[in-house]
Chain A
Amino acid sequence: MRNLSDQEIIDSVRKGNDSDYSIIVNRYKNKAFSMLKRMLKNDFDAEEVLQDCFLKAYRSLTNFKGESKFSTWFYRIVYNTALTKLSSQKRKTETEMSSVEDHFDLVSDYNSDEIEKEDINKLIQETISKLPEKHSAVITMFYLNEMTIDEISEVMGLSISNVKVMLHRSRNALRDLILKTKLAEELK
Chain B
Amino acid sequence: MIQITDEILNKYLDGELSRTEADQVKSALHNSDELRRKLNALKLVHSNLSSIIEDKVSNDFTEKLMKQIVRKATAPKQQKYFIASVVAFITLLCLVIFGFSISAMISATSSAAGNSQSVLDSVSSLSEGLVKMLHQLFSGTGLSIIGSIFSLIVLISGYFFFEMQKRSKASIGNGQHL
Contact = CB atoms under 8 A, between A and B. Distances in A.
A49 to B, nearest CB: 9
A171 B57 contact: no
Interface in A2-50: 18-19, 21-22, 25-26, 29-31, 33-34, 37, 43, 47-48, 50
A33 B55 contact: yes
Nearest to B13: A171
Given A18-B69, A55-B69, A168 B6 contact: yes
Contact of B48 (A18, A25, A30, A120): A120
B65 A33 contact: no
A159 B66 CA distance: 36
B167 interface: no
A14 to B, nearest CB: 13
Interface residues of A, number: 41
Interface string B40-74: 11101110111111111110011011101110110
Contacts of B172: 55
A48 B176 contact: yes
Interface of A: 18-19, 21-22, 25-26, 29-31, 33-34, 37, 43, 47-48, 50-52, 54-55, 58, 120-121, 124-125, 128, 139-140, 143-144, 167-168, 171-172, 174-175, 178-179, 184, 187-188
| SS of B interface (majority) | helix
Contact of B10 (A37, A168, A188): A168
Contacts, number: 112
B52 A179 contact: no
A175 B48 contact: no
B10 to A, nearest CB: 4
Interface of B: 6-7, 10, 33, 36-38, 40-42, 44-46, 48-58, 61-62, 64-66, 68-70, 72-73, 172, 175-178
Nearest to A174: B45
Given A125-B53, A143-B52, A168-B7, 5 more contacts: A22-B66, A25-B61, A47-B57, A47-B178, A179-B41
